Structure 1
Amino acid sequence: MEDVFLSESVNGDTIFVTPLSNLFYRQAGGQGLGGSEGYFICCSSDKRPDAGIEILAKAASVEAAERIFYALVAQGRYLEKAAA
């Protein structure tokens, strides 16, 4: 599995892509996602970093994870501009 880490701060949250270890997968509440294999698109609150992370999506390939990541970041940027 390719080591990938993408991260962007958008609208008060940090969206990121990373593989997860089995332990971290379980701690992040990754039930029903088919296990820890693959790439995870996650979110954490910039305002509440102690709240942990939320798994938003799972992708089987790095290319799919990048597509999901960039779509979420673009949508977040759009919403930031619309709110300004």
Structure 2
Amino acid sequence: MIIGKLLQSFGHILAQIPRINPGVMQWKRLQRISYQQLVKKKMKKNKILALKKEIKDGIESGIAQVFVPIKHLEFIKSGKNVRRTKP
């Protein structure tokens, strides 16, 4: 996958095409992360809120390129998996 190659080479998502923008998907996932999950991952609340704002601002201003650090992507992925396993 193209996204996989980008993650390997840059350590962040580089979205070239606005209509297929991985940044938008990451932003939607970030909105669904609970405070308990943040605490569990020992991630400061203001840090994740800053990341949310950064992504949101990038999307609203119409910038096609949204950069998300790879450690946040891992965090987001693990948060998604936690939700998926619940009944």
Q: Normalization by structure 2: what TM-score?
A: 0.30
Indicate the structure with greater helix content.
Answer: 2
